[in-house]
Amino acid sequence: MNNPLEAVTQAVNSLVTALKLPDESAKANEVLGEMSFPQFSRLLPYRDYNQESGLFMNDTTMGFMLEAIPINGANESIVEALDHMLRTKLPRGVPFCIHLMSSQLVGDRIEYGLREFSWSGEQAERFNAITRAYYMNAAATQFPLPEGMNLPLTLRHYRVFFSYCSPSKKKSRADILEMENLVKIIRASLQGASITTQAVDAQALLQIVGGDKLIIPFC
């Protein structure tokens, strides 16, 4: 088949046909596997997500991911609480990863924040547009600074994630219960440090990786 368009058309038709079959997901993956296109899903280590336990089941490991609400600054009690958690609550020899993600996608958050500080009066629309542009420019470049100051002051949407996984080939009920208990301990410890968390499920992980441009898609 020399015509590239015909090759693409045939590939699409094969996928559509596969999706109409009873076991559409398995057949679709089989069709994708026969194609020469790279599959992003192959880069992700997890093979299953247990909705009930909130755990990711990987090839040879099992783990979880939490998203934390960033806090402005810290104090001695927060530092001591985090230090105590890291020293006494986590198993030795297993990495506990902390991820800080910065995104320029702040348009929706600017709109939300400006609801409380919007202008009123005859020139409201004009002044609101100027205010919005000021913050959007800070996200695209940086905040305007007085002459002589060269500080990287930008507007970003910051997100913090905690991830943890430990070896587990059999994924036994005992392993799952132990991991569930560890999640409860970590979340309670973080709450004691005034850090609120929520579980990251499979759909949220895909949105983090793709939707928030952590990995830039080909275009």
The pLDDT, as a whole number, for residue 215 is 45
Residue 54, both tokens: 């909130």
The pLDDT, as a whole number, for residue 217 is 37
Tokens 């579980």 belong to residue? 199
The pLDDT, as a whole number, for residue 219 is 27
Whether the pTM exceeds 0.75: the reply is no
Beta bridge partners of 68: 160, 197
Which own/partner contact pairs does 183-192 have at CB distance under 8 Å and 24+ positions apart? 183/54, 183/55, 183/64, 183/66, 185/89, 186/66, 186/85, 186/89, 186/90, 186/162, 187/66, 189/81, 189/82, 189/84, 189/85, 189/89, 190/66, 190/68, 190/82, 190/85, 190/162, 192/81
Sketch out the chain's domains with CATH numbers. Answer: 43-104+157-211 (3.30.70), 105-155 (no CATH)
Q: Which of 50, 83, 53, 48 is nearest to 182 (CA)?
A: 53
* Residues in the chain, pLDDT under 70: 1-46, 210-219
- Measured CA to CA, the distance from residue 80 to residue 73 in angstroms comes to 14
The pLDDT, as a whole number, for residue 6 is 59
The pLDDT, as a whole number, for residue 54 is 92
The pLDDT, as a whole number, for residue 18 is 47
Q: Residue 133 in contact with residue 40, Cβ under 8 Å?
A: no
